């Protein structure tokens, strides 16, 4: 991909473009059951959507020496079809078309392993509406959101910290790790509230604006890019 002076919008996937909780939560429930561990409550299960599962499992009762086992059990269900127990939020395709029509370069930047992110984006028609799909390696524990963003920036010919002379860059995400990962590259983050953040999470993390309705997202992004 070549260097482009157009505005660049980096888009989280889970909780921002798609409602992926059903498939992810089913896989997480399976993993705890397979390990013989108590299944967390519903609110905790939803908190798994977004961050690397290699961070979430040890944070919620899985012993460090069993995290790899939990990940394998989760992926048994997820790769077998759970990743498609998912849907694009209503109105998102229109948002992506509007941003492209306004001259933006669009890229998905997700903490989900890229080997899953790409077929999900293909299945749900997102790939054709963006200019690239970037995710973590299969070993999620070796990658942060900042690492995924670095990968996307490099592929799109951008520097880090971002250089304003290359054109503005903005992140859109629904969790605090989207905000923090973008900030490591000097990128502001628009927070969307239809995802999986806890109350106050995005504001506390430093999102520059919160968007409550998909119909308002394109205007919110474009106003920050001007």
Residues acting as catalytic residues: 12
Rounded distance, CA 55 to CA 21, Å? 17
Cβ atoms of 223 and 203 closer than 8 Å: no
Instruction: Give the C-alpha distances (Å, rounded to integers) separating 9 from 30, 53, 72, 99.
Output: 35, 25, 33, 9
H/E stretch holding 9: strand 8-11
Alpha helices in 2-157 (DSSP H): 21-35, 42-47, 53-59, 67-79, 92-101, 114-123, 145-155
Instruction: Give the C-alpha distances (Å, rounded to integers) separating 47 from 53, 102, 176.
Output: 10, 34, 11
Rounded distance, CA 36 to CA 34, Å? 6
């Amino acid at each position: 991909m070549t260097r482009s002076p157009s505005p660049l919008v980096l888009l989280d996937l889970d909780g921002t473009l798609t409602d992926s909780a059903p498939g992810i939560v089913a896989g997480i429930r399976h993993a705890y059951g397979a390990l013989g561990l108590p299944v967390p409550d519903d609110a905790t299960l939803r908190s798994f959507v977004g961050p690397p599962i290699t961070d979430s499992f040890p944070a919620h009762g899985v012993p460090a020496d069993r995290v790899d086992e939990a990940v394998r059990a989760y992926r048994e269900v997820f790769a077998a079809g759970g990743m498609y127990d998912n849907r694009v939020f209503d109105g998102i395709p229109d948002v992506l078309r509007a941003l492209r029509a306004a001259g933006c370069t669009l890229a998905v930047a997700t903490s989900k392993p890229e080997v899953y992110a790409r077929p999900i984006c293909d299945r749900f028609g997102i790939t054709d509406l963006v200019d690239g799909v970037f995710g973590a390696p299969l070993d999620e524990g070796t990658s942060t959101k900042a690492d995924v963003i670095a990968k996307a920036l490099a592929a799109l010919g951008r520097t880090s910290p971002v250089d304003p002379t290359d054109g503005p860059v903005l992140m859109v995400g629904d969790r605090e790790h989207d905000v923090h990962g973008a900030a490591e590259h000097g990128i502001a983050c628009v927070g969307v509230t239809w995802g999986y953040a806890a109350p106050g999470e995005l504001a506390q993390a430093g999102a520059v604006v919160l968007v409550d309705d998909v119909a308002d997202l394109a205007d919110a992004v474009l106003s920050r890019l001007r």
